[in-house]
Amino acid sequence: MASNATDYIKHHLTFWNSSHEGGFSSLHVDSFSVSLILGFLFAGVFAYVARNAKLENPGKLQLFVESIVEMVDTQVKEIFHAKSKVIAPLALTIFCWVFLMNAMDMLPVDLIPMAAQWIGFTFFGADPHHVYFRVVPSADVNVTFGLSISVLICIIGFSISAKGLGGWIKELFTAPFHASGPVGTILLAPANFALQMVELLAKPISLSLRLFGNMYSGELIFILIALLPWGAQWLLGAPWAIFHILVITLQAFVFMMLTIVYLSLAVEKH
């Protein structure tokens, strides 16, 4: 049973890799395709609603979409005071996409992997033990870092567009410690630069690892619950799933909020 359980957990935590050797040029087909499908789902539904939006007598779907847009718009307007056409759509995309990716955690933990194994075995003659499918893209560090590094690029881009390239580089060396004379400024430059780098790099790392950690642990606990005797699974599974509804929404919200905060910090002058 012990090795059985270990195998089960390992199998669930292995990605469908495009090459058996792994390496940088390989692709996690499962997390990439699921995130792609969910991204298109979000874009499709929202674009459909935006295209058919009615001023009067909006439908239920339109009201639902509008409430999300309204929520994001309120947050952006409260936190981000400069003018930007990018930040609100960016925040909306992050919230919806991350939420959808997190929500994959609510699917039964064996549903998609079993389906993938059956399809692989029936149509492609693959060994079911070597068919892997992890369905929660946000439990993949590649996905969370892909998002947070994009946010980092946005932070740098916003800083440069707000302060100019020279202004941004100057700020890297002269803040947070200010000196009055040129000698002091030069002396403080390395310390300032080191602190700024830490500050800059801590943002994407904390963003992505927070999301990854929450989703990975949630997935792992669902896997562990699935190892319980079937009659007892609901006892832990139901509370954890209900609690997880909160977690997936909260994580998506936190990712969005922190992105807005970081971007508003980026355009503010120190």
- Where along the sequence are the contacts to other proteins (CB under 8 A)? 17, 22-28, 31-32, 35-36, 39, 42-43, 46-47, 49-51, 53, 55-56, 65-66, 69-70, 73, 85-86, 88-90, 92-93, 97, 137, 140-143, 145-147, 149-150
Please give the Cα distance from 99 to 35 (Å, whole number).
11
Distance CA 13, CA 217 (A): 11
Residue 164 CB, nearest distance to other proteins (Å)?
Answer: 24
Minimum CB distance to other proteins smaller for 128 or for 146: 146
DSSP per residue, 2-43: HHHHHHHHHHHT---BSSTT--TT--BHHHHHHHHHHHHHHH
Q: Which is nearer to other proteins, 210 or 241 (CB)?
A: 210
Length of the chain: 270
CB of 43 to other proteins, least distance (A): 5
**CB-based contacts of 203: which residues, under 8 Å, 6+ apart?**
148, 151, 152, 155, 258, 262
Strand-pair partners of 177: none
Identity of the residue, 76 or 188, whose beta carbon is nearer to other proteins in the bound complex: 76
Classify 176 in phi/psi space as left (phi over 0), alpha (psi -120 to 50) or beta. Answer: alpha
The nearest distance, CB 246 to other proteins, in angstroms, is: 25
Question: Which residues are part of the catalytic machinery?
Answer: 206, 210, 214
Angstrom distances, CA of residue 90 to CA of 85, 93, 150, 250: 9, 5, 11, 18
Nearest approach in angstroms of CB 74 to other proteins is 12
The residue (of 47 and 198) whose beta carbon lies closer to other proteins is 47
